[in-house]
Amino acid sequence: MPSGQPGRWGRGRLNGAAILPPPLVGELQAIVGKDHVLWRHDELRSYEYDGSIDVGHPEAVVLVGSRDEVVEVVKLAQRYGKPVVPRGAGTGLSGGAVLSHGGIAVGFSRLRRILEIDEQNQRAVCEPGVVNLDLTKATTPLGLYYAPDPSSQGACTLGGNVAENSGGAHCLAYGVTTNHVLGLELVLADGSVVNVGGQAVDVPGYDLTGLVVGSEGTFAIVTKITVRLMRIQEGVRTLLATFDTIDDASRATSSIVAAGIIPAALEMMDGLTIQALQRAGHKGLPSGAQAVLLVELEGMPEGLSESTAAVQDILLQCGAAEIRTAETADERDRLWKARKGALGALGQIKPNYYLQDGVIPRTRLLEVLRTVTEVSERYGLPIANVFHAGDGNIHPCIVFDQRVPGETEKVVAAGGDILRKCVELGGTLSGEHGIGLEKQAYMTWIFSPVDIAAMLAAKRAFDPQGLLNPGKIFPKDTPAP
């Protein structure tokens, strides 16, 4: 078990969890309504988790319906000295929404309105509970879409995407969440409301919008988000290339980008992932392949044929056994449904998974994937690879059975070995999932004590009492802000 994370996976099911004093429950109910405060043990169980393996015990969940309700809840929590943790859909993969210190979870399932769509300026203003995919569905009739598209796109919320600076399959060409968020309305730790950024591409002063995006709910609570929309491209080509070895697929990835071609998306799935998808009923994937690359190109139809031909040539030169082109929108959708359903399909192999999120230079992809294979063999654990190959954001997924004694500790140790290799190769700990509880013990691998102190000083400026999502990001023995 990594140092600094004792007892992290305890399954006490609220055993020993604190219970809010009745006066506080009543005051929360007075703010949001009796039906929107969850505080009984059976009501809180589904809020113990996010998509990681970590567990925490909220003392209450408050489903807010307005910014003003957020303000009053924060002020009340401050008076009682209770931690406050903003929570979206619970799809995060690093323990960021897990209440490791108890306290009050602020849920945004009622704040899910798209407040404005500005077609001419390609902007949208949304509440934090808006589901990522719903924004694209709302803007598609206008020829627009929202580019960041995590695998959990159909469930995750924009507020959670802002907290974790989420990416997605198409971030290779278009960037991650921070590249598409222009402004934020924030409730600070003392309940005051501030607006940072705005509708303009750039505004004077400090880039506080950029500072808050990716801060994992430790600086402020986001109550309104202004995002940039993009025009839907006139042409799109989606290719599926199969390879007999994962090494060949890795070489093809680097060769495509080295040729000056930046696809909209460049994704890899290995043989174990393909087998799981086939068992789960996904059609159209090749049997027997050790790796596939999903390459999507976008642009004007005139130039698209030329770039598609160039990519096909590179794939063949790097050993592609077969290249398929999605001929219809339905075929394209099926391919992307398989890619985005890969994690769920791994349940066909083992009941649990532990997904890593390391980043390495694209040219070091072969080395890190060989390390993944070596770690899998050393620990006797199956590891599936499904990831954003184009930008070096790897997602080795260790599948296991959490019911087996000692299995969870072994899985976390294996994941740490993979992340250590990513750092050694010049990479880092996270590309889009955040640090949360999962990787906080490893922060000293990439940051000095002075670096961490500087970040904590920023945290202290926003949250002097340290009550906004405490216990996240930094190692557990780091002095509290």
Identify the band that residue 17 occupies on the pLDDT scale cut at 50, 70 and 90.
Answer: low
- Residues 6+ positions from 211 with CB-CB distance below 8 Å: 219, 458
- For 96-144, the pLDDT digits (tens) are 999 999 999 999 999 999 999 999 999 999 999 999 999 999 999 999 9
Identify the band that residue 202 occupies on the pLDDT scale cut at 50, 70 and 90.
Answer: confident
Identify the band that residue 20 occupies on the pLDDT scale cut at 50, 70 and 90.
Answer: confident
Whether 445 has a pLDDT exceeding 50, the answer reads yes
Side by side, the strands of the sheet bearing 181-187 are 114-118, 123-126, 221-228, 181-187, 193-197
- Residue 33, sorted as left (phi over 0), alpha (psi -120 to 50) or beta, turns out to be left
- For 385-394, the pLDDT digits (tens) are 999 999 999 9
Taking the domains of the chain in order of start, what are their residue ranges?
22-107, 114-231, 235-344, 350-424
Mean pLDDT, residues 324-338 taken together: 93
Whether 11 has a pLDDT exceeding 70, the answer reads no
Fold assignment, 235-344: Alpha-Beta Plaits (3.30.70)
Q: What is the mean pLDDT of the chain?
A: 93
Q: What confidence score (pLDDT) does residue 297 get? A: 97
Mean pLDDT, residues 312-327 taken together: 96
Tokens of 387: 């990831």
Q: What confidence score (pLDDT) does residue 350 get? A: 96
- For 36-60, the pLDDT digits (tens) are 999 999 999 999 999 999 999 999 9
CA distance 383 to 396: 6
Q: What confidence score (pLDDT) does residue 1 get? A: 32
Identify the band that residue 14 occupies on the pLDDT scale cut at 50, 70 and 90.
Answer: very low
CATH class of 22-107: alpha beta
Identify the band that residue 10 occupies on the pLDDT scale cut at 50, 70 and 90.
Answer: very low
CA distance 13 to 284: 41
Lowest mean pLDDT among 268-282, 402-416, 466-480: 466-480
Task: Decide if 22-107 and 350-424 have a common fold.
Answer: no
Mean pLDDT, residues 458-477 taken together: 95
Whether 233 has a pLDDT exceeding 70, the answer reads yes
Strands (E), 284-393: 291-299, 322-325, 352-355, 383-387
Mean pLDDT, residues 61-90 taken together: 97
- Residues 6+ positions from 286 with CB-CB distance below 8 Å: 240, 242, 274, 292, 322
Identify the band that residue 9 occupies on the pLDDT scale cut at 50, 70 and 90.
Answer: low
Q: According to CATH, what is the number of the domain 350-424?
A: 3.30.70.2740
CA distance 161 to 213: 8
Q: Identify whether the C-beta of residue 185 lies closer than 8 Å to the C-beta of residue 198.
A: no
- For 22-32, the pLDDT digits (tens) are 889 999 999 99
Q: What is the DSSP string of 378-442?
A: HHT--EEEEEBGGGTB--EEEEE-TTSTTHHHHHHHHHHHHHHHHHHTT-BS-SSS--TTTSGGG
Matching CATH number, 114-231, of 3.40.50.12280, 3.20.20.150, 3.30.465.10, 3.40.640.10: 3.30.465.10
